[in-house]
Structure 1
Amino acid sequence: MGKYSQSLQMSMTTALVISVCIVDSVTIAYDGSVMGSVNVMESYSNYFSLNTATIAVNSTAVYLGAILIAPFAGKIVDWRGRKEAIVESCIFNIIGAAISGAAQNIAMFIAGRMIIGLGMGLAQTSASSYVSETTAPRVRSLALGLYFTCWALGSFLATGVCYGTAQMDPSNWAWRIPCLVQMFAPICVLFIIPFLPESPRWLIYNDRTDEGLEVLARINGSTTDDPSVQLQFQEIMDTLTYEKSEGKSLGFKEIIRNAPNRKRLYLCLSVAPLTMLTGSNIITYYYGTMLSQAGITSSKTQMEINMVLSAWQFFVATAGSILAEGLGRRFLCLSSLGLCTIMFYGVGGMTARFGTSDDTSGVYGTVAFIFLFMGAYSFGLTPLTNMYPPEVMSYNIRATGMAMFTLTAKACGVFVTMVFPYMFDAIGWKTYMVNASWNLLFFVGVYFFWVETKGKTLEEIDELFDGVKHSDAPTLAAFEEKRAAVSEYEV
């Protein structure tokens, strides 16, 4: 196989790996944007006789489903494999979307959304582990970043569908169709995933070493005898052999067994409040309330603004994903978090000043601050959502750690969807000030405790926590540097 064919194979495999895993990010974003859009539809509100409490419960149901499956997700992913768990998550999402779209009462609607939550919880555990383990080291950060960057595509799709069906309001199909369309992404994944390999680390851990080596060669766009592929294979073999020889098990007990693992867990879980409580979810779920407070009450105008906002987020998050390996995870997070805090103070101040005024410039100035906030968030925190957590976890606790990350993230989501409607009712624009203020604590935590993972294989990252490399193989960076020097000398 020529170099061009090998490179094309790697690119296609990486693209397909990312594409099947966007079911998680697209579903989460689609779900949030759909709820934000249907919440302002007359037909939806009248059909279920909604009030503040029932709006919150409807939005929270997916998080409750994800929380229910999270304790078992890690075991399922380790037992059945990353690919099969992704398939199971798709089936949950399809069934849940069908039930919620056909709901005859609020109980049926909530049940459907909880089943979607089961799929989302399993997907976030399996997909992030799969992408991190089944992409070449040099493209891992880009792949993980793009994986959750597609969150913006889900938001854009949901807003576009709702914008179209809103014309049908007050027909109940105005909200039923967007709910049913949520099946689209999982169905696509079911057609693609049979053509993709299983995680090489899962294969090697389960003594299918020859298959694991073949997959490593495929995702690196090379052959099994390539020195770079052999080095990665040796690193993985040595590390997994060490974990087995030390009696390190898979599961919850191992994740808190020693100080290095507890630090891994802390860093993994720290991303959940960073991404869920920084302020983006207020905009995702309650942008209608925010824009109404800012003086924009037309549901059509609100949806138009949200469509443009989704496109803006996608392009900025893509830029952040591309730059992640060069800038580093810590810098990406700190810069994004700092700008988010400043912009959210701006949203609060502008809402307080112009929210009840007829000043058109002031109203759209508020919208501008919302766009700047979401741009800052999308640049760093969106790519890092499922980039940093799987990187800091070693293989034997990666699936379990991602399950606990999912549990923590969804618990934060419950907090957002249940608490913020009442905060808006009680203190209005001051909600933004409170939220921006606790972001300062997140900034301090990242600055003092996060470790940098750029430029390292997953096995080399283990050395940052354990203090020793569990393989005699040289680092991949040192090997590539030496090979480049030799090639240059020969030329």
Structure 2
Amino acid sequence: MFGKYAQSAKVGFTTALVISACVVDSVTIAYDGSVMGSVNVMPSYKKYFEISTATKAVNSTATGLGAIMMAPFAGFIVDKFGRRQGLFAGAQNLAMFIAGRMVIGIGMGLAQASAASYVSETTAPRLRALALGLYYTCWAVGGILATGISYACTSLEPSDWAWRVPSLFQGFAPLFIVLLMPFLPESPRWLVAQDRFDEALRVIARVNGSTIDDPIVQVQYREIIDTLNYEKTEGKSIAFAEIVRNAPNRRRVMLALSIAPVTMLTGSNVITYYYGDMLSQAGITSSKTQMVINLILSAWQFVIALTGSFLAERLGRWFLCLSSLGSCTIMFYIVGALTSAYGHTSYMPGVEGTVAAVFLFLGAYSFGLTPLTQMYPPEVLSYNIRATGMAMVTIANKACGIFVTMVFPYLFKSIGWKTYMVNASWNVLFVIWVYFCWVETKGRTLEEIDELFDGEKHSDAPNLSQVAGASEKIVETQVEKI
């Protein structure tokens, strides 16, 4: 009985180690977005750069452009040198903040292609959803850090250091990955693909907190070997060619890419980058008050996203997405209506109601869409197209982000509160898409998910749930005897 607790401790430690490295990627991305939202409302920043609608958009999109430049090459690098090395290389680029925001974006493009693949392939199946959910849930941590540091630095106004200090802090977080690298296991799938079978078996045992003789470990090992052998036999040598080779792969990529508009164009990015404009329209014009609200928003998002991550395996990805997306759509209509009615008045109940609606919108978004951002794509992609597919997802994410940051300033300027109504209306189309097209991946290993697309499992090994169920019955019988 005590052995079971020891096993859980081992699993938890290894999983925490894997997640802690990848979370830096999420925190850094969030810090970038949130710090831009904070410095955009600083008087010294506006004066120094003579900020206009165009320059605000360009400054906000610089890292996205860098990530898009890197993403086409990221899949090849990650497949060639390993998921872990992709994280390391990305961290080195991210730490070079002084070279400019576009270099940060290049590091993000490489890190994002490797991080989700790494986490999905290097965690125990029963913890995969939680691990991937936490990966992007910690986006809120970056937001809290950025807003907290920016708020503290407002006391430096009118000095330029009020916006320079928050910007400089962006280079420190990725150094954490460099320190962790010697202790991180490599993806067992990548090791098998390189014919390093013994190492792969040991890693699988490690992430499950068990020994190589454990039936749970052996089933996962057999599934990985059989599936990768099938992919090597049936697949092409070029990953991009493999993506479009057959209908199942095209469907995999289509579902993976759908996460970009579903999560990036739902309305959250509007608040992330332009919450200052939103709050000003709602009647809250003080930059300090806006930062306090943003700090509270980040903490609120983190708690709700954490809840969604823990419930993802129980509720399922399909339900999690639909409940979150549907609630977001309703709340954005309400934000638009309240902004229309009270955005240019001093009627405090109306202003407070608008802020409350923003809180509820971000809570709904954080519950499902935040965890799913990096959870769903690597699950639906098979191994031979996972790294390249995740690179494509990164491009789609950044492209959607650039669309928001370039287009929405002009929408706010031209049609004001109606922007929320337009955004909420296309969210309805996302709800319809997810309802009819998404597949449910809960309760399956990455190799067992292939059956949902190919119509068959590419391994003779029994499903992990069957073996796990049998093992639990044996343990329960032994405990009853004791």
Tell me, yes or no, whether TM beats 0.5.
yes
The equivalent residue for 1:468 is: 456
Counting only pairs closer than 5 Å after superposition, residues 451-466 of structure 1 correspond to structure 2 as: 451-466=439-454
The equivalent residue for 1:55 is: 56
SS at match of 1:454: coil
Counting only pairs closer than 5 Å after superposition, residues 171-190 of structure 1 correspond to structure 2 as: 171-190=159-178
The equivalent residue for 1:152 is: 140
CA contact (8 A) 2:235 2:242 kept: no
Following superposition, the deviation at residue 250 of structure 1 comes to 4.9
- Is 2:252 aligned against 1:274? no
Post-superposition CA distance 1:138-182 (Å, at most 9, x none):
000000001100000000000000000111111111111111111
Post-superposition CA distance 1:183-204 (Å, at most 9, x none):
1210112111221111111011
The equivalent residue for 1:334 is: 322
Residue 155 of structure 2, aligned match among 158, 163, 167: 167
SS at match of 1:185: coil
Whole-Å separation in 1 of the counterparts to 2:264 and 2:25: 15
CA contact (8 A) 2:27 2:143 kept: yes
Letter of the 1:240 counterpart: L
Following superposition, the deviation at residue 92 of structure 1 comes to 1.2
Following superposition, the deviation at residue 383 of structure 1 comes to 0.2
Post-superposition CA distance 1:105-152 (Å, at most 9, x none):
xxxxxxx11111111111111000000000000000000001100000
The equivalent residue for 1:42 is: 43
- Is 2:129 aligned against 1:141? yes
Residue 377 of structure 2, aligned match among 389, 402, 420: 389
20-29 or 226-235: which moved more?
20-29
CA contact (8 A) 2:83 2:186 kept: yes
Post-superposition CA distance 1:241-269 (Å, at most 9, x none):
11112244351110111000000000000
Following superposition, the deviation at residue 387 of structure 1 comes to 0.2
- Is 2:212 aligned against 1:224? yes
- Is 2:31 aligned against 1:30? yes
The equivalent residue for 1:109 is: none
Q: Which runs of 5+ in 1 are unaligned?
A: 100-111
Whole-Å separation in 1 of the counterparts to 2:312 and 2:217: 24
Following superposition, the deviation at residue 9 of structure 1 comes to 2.1
361-370 or 185-194: which moved more?
185-194
User: How many corresponding residue pairs?
Assistant: 478
CA contact (8 A) 1:249 1:396 kept: no
Letter of the 1:20 counterpart: A
Give aligned-pair identity as a percent. Answer: 67
Task: Report the RMSD for the aligned CA atoms in angstroms.
Answer: 1.1
SS at match of 2:346: coil
The equivalent residue for 2:67 is: 66
Q: Which runs of 5+ in 2 are unaligned?
A: none
- Is 2:120 aligned against 1:132? yes
Whole-Å separation in 1 of the counterparts to 2:400 and 2:98: 26
Following superposition, the deviation at residue 4 of structure 1 comes to 4.0
Post-superposition CA distance 1:260-314 (Å, at most 9, x none):
0000000000000011000000000000000000000000000000000000000
- Is 2:413 aligned against 1:411? no
SS at match of 1:382: helix
Whole-Å separation in 2 of the counterparts to 1:202 and 1:355: 54
Letter of the 2:424 counterpart: A
Following superposition, the deviation at residue 356 of structure 1 comes to 0.5
TM-score, normalised via structure 1 length: 0.96
CA contact (8 A) 2:264 2:401 kept: yes
Following superposition, the deviation at residue 479 of structure 1 comes to 1.3
Following superposition, the deviation at residue 2 of structure 1 comes to 4.8
Whole-Å separation in 2 of the counterparts to 1:148 and 1:411: 18
SS at match of 2:128: helix
CA contact (8 A) 1:66 1:407 kept: yes
CA contact (8 A) 2:215 2:467 kept: no
CA contact (8 A) 1:250 1:396 kept: no
Residue 306 of structure 2, aligned match among 291, 299, 318: 318
The equivalent residue for 1:89 is: 90
The equivalent residue for 1:108 is: none
SS at match of 1:366: helix
Letter of the 2:88 counterpart: V
- Is 2:232 aligned against 1:244? yes
Whole-Å separation in 2 of the counterparts to 1:73 and 1:342: 37
The equivalent residue for 1:213 is: 201
